[in-house]
Amino acid sequence: MPSNVLGSCCYQGVKHEGQPCGRIENIGETEIYISEPTSSASNGYGILYLTDIIGHKFVNAQLLADQYAENGYVVVVPDLFHGDPVPFNSDMATFSIPTWMQGAYGAKKVPHTPPNVDPIVQAGLDTLRQKHNCKKIALVGYCFGAKYAVRFLGSGQVDVGFIGHPAMVEKKELEGVKRPLALAAAETDDIFPANMRHDFEETLRKLEGVPYQINLYSGVTHGFGVRCDPKVRAQRFAKESAFFQALQWFEEHLRDKVNSS
């Protein structure tokens, strides 16, 4: 497996300050956070942002979605968990990730597995394409969400992807990637340690004709792309750099190619 299962580092971190400027809507029974650019800033592209296990209502995720929107993208952040995200900074003594994965804590008792998450991702893509008329779509996935970004990069429905500190990605999912994929990795990460990062790189290297990029950020741990401590200079720099990595990757692979000859 190119990345390990979830752990306590997937729901711990620092809550960021700021006022989100997007809004909550629904796609059928699924709640989403949506953030849109001004008409003058719009580039006509969409981003489906697949969150870590804290979910779409976490202020850090909403602020990050707003940042992507400020750069021209319509951003949809779906509730991947049927109203059952992991509470931020949960007590490790009483909260069980395996129990949560089975859906036991949620009111709907829905397991957080591909048969239940894939349809939510699909609905988000359909919304960007059909309701918002996005001509091209990028996937962003952090931690839990990275698995589903990878899965759908093999579907032919999206144009490019960026993931940060992935969890639970299986080798067969990575081997199926058909679109450009960039990765932001932490120097210290029990979920995505160095040996798995090297396996990840080797798998991507063998994919014919699929561009990839892997950036390793020192001085940070799992979750830095969303939940870092902005008061710590190295962490703030890594988070900001990973964000710009994503923007540059999208700019390169979404823009229309012009022959130089």
82 catalytically annotated:
no
118 catalytically annotated:
no
250 and 45 Cβ atoms separated by less than 8 Å:
yes
HSE-up (13 A, CA, CB side) for residue 118: 10
HSE-up (13 A, CA, CB side) for residue 175: 5
Burial of 107 (0-12, 13-18, 19+ CB in 10 A): exposed
31 and 56 Cβ atoms separated by less than 8 Å:
yes
Which of the following is catalytic: 66, 189, 228, 253? 189
Helices 114-126 & 144-152 angle (0-180, nearest 10):
70
The enclosing H or E element of 178 equals none
Which of the following is catalytic: 9, 222, 228, 253? 222
- Cα(100)–Cα(97) distance, integer angstroms: 5
143 catalytically annotated:
yes
Q: Any residues with CB less than 8 A from the CB of 252 and at least 6 apart, and which?
A: 180
The enclosing H or E element of 9 equals none
In sequence order, which ranges of the chain are alpha helices (DSSP H)? Answer: 59-70, 97-101, 114-126, 144-152, 171-175, 194-205, 224-227, 233-254
Largest CA distance in the chain: 63
Which of the following is catalytic: 143, 159, 228, 253? 143
Amino acid identity of residue 178, one-letter, is: K
> Looking at the annotation, which residues are catalytic?
143, 189, 222
